[in-house]
């Protein structure tokens, strides 16, 4: 079936209004969705609507490649503070990530522990719902976000409630300097203790991850050069009782690898993304019987690579959520991609989908 690539919001609305069957909503095609129906791509909706560096505000069409957004911001010494991951290496896909896809999935990297998730930087959206109606919500600055908060609702909905056409974002200045404090020779329990101590400190930590293969916890600080030197030094001294500490200037490649789960690239097996309390990670990790693990967000985010077809949710006996990120189509169909919702919440979700997508055509079945 031919891919539909509208060049305007009006054309997109016309296509959705006239659709009689399911549609697979696609941004840059980097996630390889198993959704039946005609492919409807937003990549034709590209370009900057408004960029005011002094106001830290960016309004941009949803199909704009993330690389273009980051280049635009870098020219003004600014950035997307929520640090969205690039999933192509993990999923083995091609394509070009788009800003609309990032927002639709609420992609957030290691800096989430300090700056918040993608949705926390979203000021406003324009989208077309399943009936073909164009909807605008929120504004271009924080004070204009009023009324029903469809902005937050659309972020993380995976295109099941509407197709994003434009997003308004709060951006932040690029940090002048970065340093990474490594705590080596530690097990998971010590690593979680070190990361928790760092996150509870006054040193404004922007990353806290653990690599069990090297038995090393990593803590990142960013900001002005003199401040980074002072804070990283204090952290290293305060964490020295937990392991062998060292300080590395920069560490950009390290944190990019943590963000993109590079250790799992090209490796066989299913990949799960598990969200728990950091303290529960210590209890849960051995029960997963995983071939490989990676920890982020102070231990609250666990990436697990397991044998193909494994029902990892059956091994989780602590509160949390497990998302099946990479697996064969039959495994995704059998286990479901997303954590099953409790009955009352599932009913609310289904009611929202019926309201925003009365024909049931937008990424049907993707989120239950």
Q: Which has more pLDDT, 145 or 359?
A: 359
Q: Could you read off the pLDDT of 128-152 as tens digits, one per residue?
A: 999 999 999 876 544 444 445 788 8
What pLDDT score does 148 carry? Answer: 52
Cα distance between residue 15 and residue 240, in whole Å = 60
CA dihedral 67, 78, 91, 16 (to 10 degrees): -70
Do both 198 and 142 map to the same domain?
Answer: no
Cα distance between residue 90 and residue 260, in whole Å = 7
Cα distance between residue 327 and residue 313, in whole Å = 14
Does residue 65 form part of some domain?
yes
Do both 97 and 136 map to the same domain?
Answer: yes
Does residue 78 form part of some domain?
yes
What pLDDT score does 317 carry? Answer: 87
Does residue 365 form part of some domain?
no
Q: What is the CATH number of the domain that holds 195?
A: 3.30.70.100
Do both 208 and 137 map to the same domain?
Answer: no
Cα distance between residue 253 and residue 271, in whole Å = 22
Does residue 207 form part of some domain?
yes
Q: In 10 A of CB 217, how many CB atoms?
A: 32
Backbone φ, ψ for residue 242 (5° rounding): -95, -20
Does residue 14 form part of some domain?
yes
Do both 239 and 302 map to the same domain?
Answer: no
Do both 68 and 141 map to the same domain?
Answer: yes
Spatial CA neighbour of 316 closest among 329, 327, 302: 302
pLDDT at residue 366 greater than cutoff 90: no
Do both 282 and 249 map to the same domain?
Answer: no
Average pLDDT over residues 72-93: 96
What pLDDT score does 368 carry? Answer: 64
What pLDDT score does 1 carry? Answer: 55
What pLDDT score does 145 carry? Answer: 44
Do both 43 and 146 map to the same domain?
Answer: yes
Does residue 301 form part of some domain?
yes
Residue 223 DSSP SS3: strand
Average pLDDT over residues 173-192: 97
Which structural domain range is residue 331 located in? 262-335
Do both 19 and 166 map to the same domain?
Answer: yes
Give strand pairing partners of 356. Answer: none
51 contacts: CB under 8 Å, gap ≥ 6? 57, 58, 59, 60, 72
| Tokens of residue 268, six digits | 């066989």
Which of 260, 280, 311 is the endpoint of a domain? Answer: 260
pLDDT at residue 226 greater than cutoff 80: yes
Average pLDDT over residues 5-26: 95
Q: What percent of the chain has pLDDT over 70?
A: 96
Do both 151 and 181 map to the same domain?
Answer: no
Cα distance between residue 131 and residue 360, in whole Å = 9
pLDDT at residue 235 greater than cutoff 90: yes
Which of 151, 173, 195 is the endpoint of a domain? Answer: 173
How many separate domains does the chain show? Answer: 3
The sign of the dihedral angle between the CA atoms of 354, 356, 359, 360 is: negative
Average pLDDT of the chain to the nearest whole number: 93
Average pLDDT over residues 307-331: 94
Q: Could you read off the pLDDT of 281-318 as tens digits, one per residue?
A: 999 999 999 999 999 999 999 999 999 999 999 999 89
Q: Which has more pLDDT, 34 or 99?
A: 99
The widest CA-to-CA distance across the chain, in whole angstroms, is 65
Does residue 1 form part of some domain?
no
Which of 126, 153, 173 is the endpoint of a domain? Answer: 173
Q: What is the CATH number of the domain that holds 133?
A: 3.30.465.10
What pLDDT score does 242 carry? Answer: 95
62 contacts: CB under 8 Å, gap ≥ 6? 27, 42, 45, 98, 99, 100, 101, 103, 163, 164, 165, 166, 167
Do both 166 and 133 map to the same domain?
Answer: yes
Does residue 351 form part of some domain?
no
pLDDT at residue 178 greater than cutoff 80: yes
DSSP 296-350: EGGGTEEEEEE-TT--GGGG--SS-EEEEEE--HHHHHHH-SSPPPPHHHHHHHH
Do both 250 and 277 map to the same domain?
Answer: no
Do both 82 and 164 map to the same domain?
Answer: yes
Cα distance between residue 293 and residue 265, in whole Å = 13
Cα distance between residue 213 and residue 234, in whole Å = 26
pLDDT at residue 227 greater than cutoff 80: yes
What pLDDT score does 367 carry? Answer: 78
Q: What percent of the chain has pLDDT over 90?
A: 87
């Amino acid at each position: 079936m031919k891919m539909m690539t509208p060049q305007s919001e009006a054309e997109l609305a016309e296509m959705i209004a006239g659709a009689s069957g399911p549609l697979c909503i696609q941004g840059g095609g980097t996630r390889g969705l198993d959704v039946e129906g005609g492919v409807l791509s937003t990549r034709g909706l590209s370009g900057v609507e408004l960029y005011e560096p002094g106001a830290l505000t960016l309004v941009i069409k949803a199909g704009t490649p993330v690389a273009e957004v980051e280049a635009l911001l870098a020219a003004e010494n600014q950035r997307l503070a929520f640090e969205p991951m690039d999933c192509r290496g993990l999923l083995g896909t091609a394509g070009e990530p788009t800003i609309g896809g990032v927002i639709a999935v609420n992609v957030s990297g290691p800096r989430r522990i300090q700056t918040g998730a993608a949705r926390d930087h979203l000021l406003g959206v324009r989208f077309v719902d399943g009936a073909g109606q164009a909807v605008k919500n929120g504004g271009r600055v924080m004070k204009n976000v009023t009324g029903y908060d469809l902005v937050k609702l659309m972020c993380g909905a995976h295109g099941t409630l509407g197709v994003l056409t434009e997003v308004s974002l709060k951006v932040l200045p690029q940090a002048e300097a970065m340093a990474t404090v490594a705590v080596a020779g530690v097990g998971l329990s010590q690593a979680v203790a070190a990361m928790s101590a760092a996150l509870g400190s006054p040193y404004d930590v922007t990353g806290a991850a653990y690599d069990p293969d090297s038995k090393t916890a990593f803590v990142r600080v960013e900001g002005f050069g003199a401040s980074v030197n002072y804070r990283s030094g204090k952290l290293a001294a305060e964490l020295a009782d937990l392991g062998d500490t060292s300080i590395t200037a920069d560490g950009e490649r390290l944190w990019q690898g943590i963000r993109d789960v590079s250790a799992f690239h090209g490796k066989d097996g299913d990949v799960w993304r598990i969200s728990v309390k950091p303290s529960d990670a210590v209890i849960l990790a051995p029960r997963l019987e995983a071939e490989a693990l990676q920890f982020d967000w102070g231990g609250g985010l666990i990436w697990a690579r397991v044998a193909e077809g494994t029902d990892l949710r059956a091994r989780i006996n602590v509160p949390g959520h497990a998302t099946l990120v990479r697996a064969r189509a039959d495994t995704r169909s059998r286990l479901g991609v997303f954590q099953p919702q409790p009955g009352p919440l599932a009913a609310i979700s289904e009611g929202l989908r019926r309201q925003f997508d009365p024909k049931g055509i937008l990424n049907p079945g993707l989120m239950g």
